[in-house]
Amino acid sequence: MDGLTFLKGIANGEALGGAYYFCGEDAYSLNKGIRAVLERTNPDLRDMNAQVLKSPAPGEVQNAAETLPFFDERRVVVVTEFDADTANALEAYAVNAPESTVLVFVRPGKPPLTNPLYKALNKAGRAVSFDPLSAEQAEAFLQKRARDNGIPLDTAAASLLVLYLGVDLGALENTLLMLGAYVGFGSRVTRKAVETCVNPSAEYKVFTILDDLWAGNKKKGIAELTGLVNSPTESAMGLATLFERNVRVVVNAKQLLLGGKTEAQIAEILGVKPFVAQKAVRNAKKRTMKQLSDALNAFISIDWKQKQGLAKAEDALVLACSENF
């Protein structure tokens, strides 16, 4: 089950009880899911009916789950940082946990598909994955939070925020509130306000640098890259990974083009937005497969070069861009 479906169910008053497995790469939504479950308890009695267990033994989990609610319909037990042995030991118990307790196992990150506890709860329809939203969903989230906080938000401003920050909902909400304070109560948050106040993410900066490099604006692109790698807030290896990821999309687009796929099909297969696929296809047509493969290998090798003491990541990254664009 995806996190949005689970949260909508809670909002609609669906019953909760028994064990659940929470995972996913969107920390904001994952924490929101945990809060939503905890809020099912009576706030006046929550201290008696809500318990968080960190790195517990299997017996501690069972004892907590078997404890009856104190003058409430449900008791909530949240289990975090549990190890594989605990998960394995609780596989059979979890699928038969008492309905008087909402027992939530929390493991941030991708679903552990081979984990017995996850597999058992997923089979029972009780595994919930809180995954990053699409750009469109993130924009809708921003508009909702803006309405909730009385902040008029232009559509163009919301789109630019997602472009700058990605789909990190926590960062988006915090930045929205900061922008609301900047423009003043009741004033609109415009695209200009975003451009003035918001520092784009490294991913966005890499995307714009590559735009220049693919377009042949090598001098401008290398100058921007040099400034970025020399920034104390950026990691050269992290930047190299972003460059590698972007070039890999172009390589994959080239392979699909050679296989006769259309731009729309490429967007669907690669799981990227249409405008990203459009750029990838356009850039793929500018290079041969060998040129693209050489560029990708140049970015992949940056980590190895640094570990072997052959070059600093900063220098290797700038060199890879200079030699391949």
Backbone angles phi, psi at 98, to 5 degrees: -65, 140
58 burial type by CB count under 10 A (0-12 exposed, 13-18 middle, 19+ buried)? middle
Question: Which domains are assigned to the chain?
Answer: 3-129 (3.40.50.300), 135-197 (1.10.8.60), 202-324 (1.20.272.10)
Lowest-confidence pick of 41-55, 60-74, 198-212, 278-292: 198-212
- The predicted-structure confidence for 18-46, as pLDDT tens digits, reads as follows 999 999 998 889 999 999 999 999 999 99
Separation between Cα atoms, residue 325 and residue 304, nearest integer Å: 21
At 254, list the tokens: 């080239």
Separation between Cα atoms, residue 19 and residue 79, nearest integer Å: 10
For 60-178, strand residue ranges (E) read: 75-80, 101-108, 127-129
43 burial type by CB count under 10 A (0-12 exposed, 13-18 middle, 19+ buried)? exposed
Mean of pLDDT values over 76-96: 94
Q: Which residue has the higher pLDDT, 205 or 273?
A: 205
303 pLDDT band, cuts 50/70/90, is very high
User: 3-class DSSP state for residue 24?
Assistant: strand
At 8, list the tokens: 């909508």
pTM of the model: 0.67
Residue 268 predicted with pLDDT over 80: yes
72 pLDDT band, cuts 50/70/90, is very high
Separation between Cα atoms, residue 106 and residue 6, nearest integer Å: 15
Q: Given this model, what pLDDT does residue 318 score?
A: 94
Residue 244 predicted with pLDDT over 90: yes
- In this structure, which amino acid lies at residue 124? A
Sign of CA dihedral 76, 104, 170, 130: negative
Mean of pLDDT values over 107-125: 93
The residue behind tokens 């990203």 is 276
Total length of the chain: 325
At 313, list the tokens: 């990541």
- The predicted-structure confidence for 202-242, as pLDDT tens digits, reads as follows 888 998 999 999 999 999 999 999 999 988 888 999 999 99
The gap between the terminal CA atoms of the chain, to the nearest Å, is: 44
Residue 311 predicted with pLDDT over 80: yes
Residue 296 predicted with pLDDT over 90: yes
Sign of CA dihedral 125, 126, 127, 129: positive
- In this structure, which amino acid lies at residue 65? A
Q: Which residues pair with 20 in a beta bridge?
A: 104
Cβ proximity of 103 and 74 under 8 Å? no
At 6, list the tokens: 């689970």
Separation between Cα atoms, residue 62 and residue 122, nearest integer Å: 20
